[in-house]
Amino acid sequence: MVEIIKALNLTPEQEALVDLHSFLNVLNVLSAEMDLLALHLDRPESLKRGIGTVHEFAQALQDPFQAILWVRDIDAIHREIQQAVATAVAGITPTPAAQECLDNIEAVMAIFKTRVKELTARAGVPMIWQWYDLELLKEDLAILFQVMQQKSNGGFGIKHNIAGQEERDYLVKFDVTSRDGNQIFMPAVFNDVIRDLVANARKYTPPGGRILSGLDDDGQRIRFVVEDTGVGIPPGQVEDVVKLGFRADNVQNRRTYGGGFGLTKAYWVTQRLQGRMWIDSRLDQGTRIEIQFPRAPSG
């Protein structure tokens, strides 16, 4: 187990990009699905405005000032994207391939809407602490995995019970315990970290593998752990994986929608919370990541 202790030394622009990394991933997936839908339509020009808006939004997230302006007008942007998709398919019967894209877009837009609410809630106060219902936290992560499964077009399944796991299914577990019973008090941005690290674990684990994660608040500290049976990290590169945009040698050619910021964000958030982060990884066996930070008073 290696404790990550190196300094990140991010610029303000890089910090803004890292902070909004999770939202940027959603926009990248949405853009890809809209581009694919355009290939299956007779009048793809109807989608151009919506695709352009998604691209402009993604670009704006790289500038702190522009990001704030776009987030303030987020409801209008959301409606504009929805309208572009609706106009593109109005009056036609989509082909099966086009319908798959539409289903994926609808699922991603549901996540988009949730992320919009989260961004709005912490706008200007990135490290704000909030109360979360444990069941809703687990439901949010389950929805994320449902979208992953849907987008795989039958490539893999998601199971939460080992007795139901088949050869190309992932076994996914997420347990949450809190000294406050059915609620947990934690930084709003840490919800992003949980989703990013669990999604990373799935991304780098072949179908049939396991992604086990847990969140615990004992009243003194909050601890999060995620471990997988994936490809692992090459020896000598464990500490490097938190660098902005770094990708280990064994995953350089793997296609992803992210920018390689997930672990950077996790470590950046951990540092800002005066916490600690450890990584234990074995090549072709899997990776375990642990984060701990002090629990803030809840009033």
Strand-pairing partners, residue 278, are 3, 290
SS3 (DSSP) at 103: helix
- Rounded distance between C-alpha atoms, residue 196 and residue 74, angstroms: 22
Cα–Cα distances in Å, from 52 out to 17, 57, 139, 155, 290? 20, 9, 32, 30, 39
Strand-pairing partners, residue 280, are 288
Cα Rg, the chain, nearest whole Å: 19
pLDDT of 255 above 70: no
pLDDT tens for 202-238 read: 999 999 999 999 999 999 999 999 999 999 998 888 9
pLDDT of 167 above 60: yes
pLDDT of residue 260: 67
pLDDT tens for 19-52 read: 777 778 888 888 888 998 988 887 677 788 889 8
| Residue extents of the structural domains in the chain | 2-294
Name the residue with tokens 């991304």. 203
Kindly report the number of other CB atoms within 10 A of residue 254's CB atom.
Answer: 11
Q: Which two tokens stand for residue 296?
A: 């803030």
Residues near 274 by beta carbon (within 8 Å), at least 6 away in sequence: 293, 294
Mean per-residue pLDDT for 105-115?
Answer: 83
Cα–Cα distances in Å, from 156 out to 26, 97, 148, 189, 257? 20, 18, 9, 29, 18
| pLDDT band at 298; cut points 50, 70, 90 | confident
pLDDT of residue 252: 58
Check if the beta carbon of residue 84 is closer than 8 Å to that of residue 46: yes
| pLDDT band at 122; cut points 50, 70, 90 | confident
Check if the beta carbon of residue 227 is closer than 8 Å to that of residue 288: yes
pLDDT of 286 above 70: yes
Nearest to 124 by CA among 77, 190, 72: 72
pLDDT of residue 227: 98
pLDDT of residue 173: 96
Which range (227-231, 236-240, 243-247, 249-253) has the least confidence?
A: 249-253
- The fold adopted by the segment(s) 2-294 is Heat Shock Protein 90 (3.30.565)
SS3 (DSSP) at 233: coil
Kindly report the number of other CB atoms within 10 A of residue 78's CB atom.
Answer: 15
pLDDT of 259 above 60: no
pLDDT of residue 221: 97
| pTM (2 d.p.) | 0.86
Nearest to 10 by CA among 65, 64, 59: 64
